[in-house]
Amino acid sequence: MTRRLLALHGVLVLAFLCLPIAVVIPMSFSSASSLEFPPPGLSLRWYDSFFGDARWVAALVNSALVALASSTAALLLGGIAAYGLVRGTFRGRPLIEGIFIAPLVVPSVIVAVALYIAFAQAGLLGTMPGLVVAHTVLGVPYVVLVMSVAIRSFDPRIEQVALSLGASTATMVRRVLLPNLLPSVFAAWIFAFITSFDEVIVTHFIAGRFDTVPKRMFNELVLQVNPTITAIATLLIAVSFVAIALILWLLRRGGVRLAALT
């Protein structure tokens, strides 16, 4: 009986969390000229409004470029850090692990203010490189988290055998370690990509004149309630669902359990 009540409670909470999605998606296909639920008719006018507006398309391109660059950088830096943290034996390792994971715990606005002060002194405010660096900082913790679990689950004796047979460290990583961890590598990259693509608070502080899709959505909602936002939100929801499904599939294929990430 207790399990059934817990299951019912979980279903009700999940339904409550999904309620906004059930409202936004139908409204994105509405034929009304303003936000109206339920929609009086079906239309793709708001999707046409999004893809037909050069400003939204430019914001989409900026989001994609920043997410692509920052997620790739986060994968490289976070992957190396994860390997050092898992295989290394040095003092202060728990502290360093905590520092890497800190951006997941610290509120985004605090990270944004810290980056704003640092970038102001370095002359990176309002620049594309500065925005990429800021998003890389946000993506590295996810990469470290996923890759640490993947590397920890990989038998180190296989690496030792490769090294004892004459392979260099670089060759061992390229021909032994990475092929076995490839699903987790892709999952970590997708985590970092989605984190960058959806980021709004840090972007608002750092981006300056550069628009991304989340930043422009925020600015549009401040000025007026534009129904085009519902179409964009639906597209982001769809991308997020696809990304989550792909991450789950990759982690399962890589033998990484979700419980190990928490």
φ/ψ bin of 123: left (φ > 0), alpha (ψ from -120 to 50), beta (otherwise): left
Half-sphere exposure (Cβ direction) of 85: Cα atoms closer than 13 Å:
27
Taking the C-alpha atoms of residue 165 and residue 211, their distance in angstroms, rounded to an integer, is 52
Q: In the chain, which ranges are continuous DSSP H helix?
A: 2-28, 45-51, 54-87, 93-105, 108-122, 128-153, 156-164, 169-172, 178-198, 201-206, 213-223, 228-253
Taking the C-alpha atoms of residue 47 and residue 44, their distance in angstroms, rounded to an integer, is 5
At residue 173, the pLDDT reads 80
At residue 254, the pLDDT reads 60
Taking the C-alpha atoms of residue 180 and residue 154, their distance in angstroms, rounded to an integer, is 8
CB 140 within 8 A of CB 77: yes
- For 248, residues 6+ apart whose C-beta sits below 8 A from its C-beta are 258
Residue 47 identity: Y
Give the CATH architecture of domain 54-261. Orthogonal Bundle (1.10)
Residues of the chain with pLDDT under 70: 1, 32-36, 223-225, 253-262
CB 141 within 8 A of CB 100: yes
Helix axes 2-28, 228-253, angle to 10 degrees: 130
Domain parsing of the chain, residue ranges? 54-261
The token pair at 233 is: 């939100």
At residue 1, the pLDDT reads 61
Taking the C-alpha atoms of residue 227 and residue 34, their distance in angstroms, rounded to an integer, is 6
The token pair at 12 is: 């009700």
